[in-house]
Structure 1
């Protein structure tokens, strides 16, 4: 139960925390919480699966730190697509790579602020790529001025396209205007901070009012650009298993970056429309793999203060205590 509590620190789209956990003798099950699916923002459930995959990897790291052996079976129940993984306990075989990531769980933050102009060493990027590879994904650096500009243009256009989708603005408003004391969603303070000092090179989702966002400054057009790198988590396929493993790889990359002293910002908005990943794959990255998520990584800016942890739901609120609990049952199509 302590390990699951630490898994709840995983990042998720809009901090929706779309997961449920069931503890049974000798195993833990991870289920999707369909009630927290963002139908307008995430129509094909890519973000939901990425979020749950990140929580699954966080759990593996937390279990390894407690010398608890396990075996992960992903998507083991073809009759229940909401049952994403079963973690069976067994003999402990230490994974030094997972153990090395453990302290990053408590320290990792999504940092939307401008980053330092200090370049990220190639060796550091290689470490991040190795961690992604261990989880079955490829980490593709967005290198070269042309590719970088194409990617930033796609990021800049995505919020405008999404804003025209029915329900998108209301979902954004719902998860950025949580009531006082809420344990999910994006805190208003984080939104305000981003609005006061946005990263000129990396557009975020539209403002909380639901009005169309302002276009962002492209790197090279101003003097305030930082030296953050862009990397894309990509997989060889694009089914539910690939997306779940992409979430695990995202967790590994974020925790490894934290251990190296780097700060990170995951970006999903350019991947949320049905056609967007295909366009990025074909026109921007030009790779055979399927892009799943973009991560901005760099050194914290000089004088940057430590960000507070975003809120999380309690363990009791995410546990399935009733074997007939229907919250983990997939809704009918279109609901």
Structure 2
């Protein structure tokens, strides 16, 4: 049997899937470098959102999601990808070094890789249809290997999540700096990044849990009445850079797992960029035992909802260093 080669074609195919990961406002705040049998992941501070994400939490979580996408993409092509987290203490933007070794893909690897191509952020209301039996429990179990916990919020506790979400939406509606930043990163056309109009809906401010408002929403929402979403908070015991990176991996695992079950998902983490509202969620829903990193909606689309194309991605050349460059 011809041995596998971790060559430029393998690396390129894996990174083409990795960059399909979700990121805050679709900023795609990552950079990649490649070497002999390894891939280096860096955050790109030029793409950090100073108003929405002042301490870079969402940026690092986004990079963690891309890291997990990369690991899935390598796994389906026959490579086990082992990350070393934060390998350079002098460079906080150097998030991971991924080394590879041959390993046959599993059925799960194949399912998750297929889900990368299908996953979209679905901001329309979800239908009053039951989730598959045990789905949320199964999805919650997928995050444990990344040192995270997925807290499924029962209906009786949703008001504790709704309060900071409404507070964040109200504050942002009157925050000129936030609105300028949002206008820069949403309502765009013919760009390789940002949140395009065709993926966003007009928010209904009377919803118990309001969704984030974007500029120039262009997607019709066929849903009537209440949004029948299930809500999950992904949290970690620590809140350092490593924990946030791993929370991003956990988020990717949960989103891809949900997609493989035929479920729709959307990240709705608006209050987490406001420290006191993030603390409120930590206190009321997590009993001060964990730090909330991501909030996710999970559900089923209405049968009348037409398919929506995915948000754009930048060309790989824009985020990839030359493969000949040696990383110190």
Normalising by the residue count of structure 2, what TM-score does the alignment of the two structures yield? 0.88
1:248 maps onto 2:249 in alignment:
yes
Contact map agreement 1:137 1:246 (CA 8 A) in 2: yes
Match of 2:39 in 1: 28
Q: 1:201 to 1:307 in 2, by over 3 A?
A: farther
- Work out the CA distance in 2 between the residues paired with 1:229 and 1:36: 31
**Aligned with residue 130 of structure 1, among 107, 117, 141:** 141
Contact map agreement 2:18 2:66 (CA 8 A) in 1: yes
**Aligned with residue 15 of structure 1, among 26, 48, 54:** 26
Match of 1:190 in 2: 199
SS at match of 1:280: helix
- Work out the CA distance in 1 between the residues paired with 2:240 and 2:107: 29
Tell me the CA shift for residue 244 of structure 1. 0.5
Q: Give the count of matched residue pairs.
A: 308
SS at match of 1:246: helix
- Work out the CA distance in 2 between the residues paired with 1:23 and 1:244: 20
- Work out the CA distance in 2 between the residues paired with 1:207 and 1:27: 38
**Aligned with residue 171 of structure 2, among 151, 161, 173:** 161
- Work out the CA distance in 2 between the residues paired with 1:206 and 1:279: 21
- Work out the CA distance in 2 between the residues paired with 1:319 and 1:202: 38
1:258 maps onto 2:265 in alignment:
no
1:46-125 → structure 2 map (5 Å cutoff):
46-92=57-103, 94=105, 97-125=108-136
Q: Deviations over 1:249-272 (max 9, x none)?
A: 000000000000100011111100
Normalising by the residue count of structure 1, what TM-score does the alignment of the two structures yield? 0.86
Tell me the CA shift for residue 299 of structure 1. 1.1
Q: Structure 2 unaligned runs (5+)?
A: 1-11, 217-223
Q: Which moved more, 1:153-162 or 1:37-46?
A: 153-162
Contact map agreement 1:120 1:229 (CA 8 A) in 2: no
1:173 maps onto 2:174 in alignment:
no
Q: Structure 1 unaligned runs (5+)?
A: 210-222, 326-335
Q: Deviations over 1:250-296 (max 9, x none)?
A: 00000000000100011111100122222111124425111111101
Contact map agreement 1:57 1:252 (CA 8 A) in 2: yes
Contact map agreement 1:267 1:293 (CA 8 A) in 2: yes
Q: 1:165 to 1:78 in 2, by over 3 A?
A: farther
- Work out the CA distance in 1 between the residues paired with 2:202 and 2:154: 28
Contact map agreement 1:112 1:265 (CA 8 A) in 2: yes
Tell me the CA shift for residue 93 of structure 1. 5.9
SS at match of 2:51: coil
- Work out the CA distance in 2 between the residues paired with 1:199 and 1:96: 43
1:148 maps onto 2:164 in alignment:
no
Match of 2:215 in 1: 208
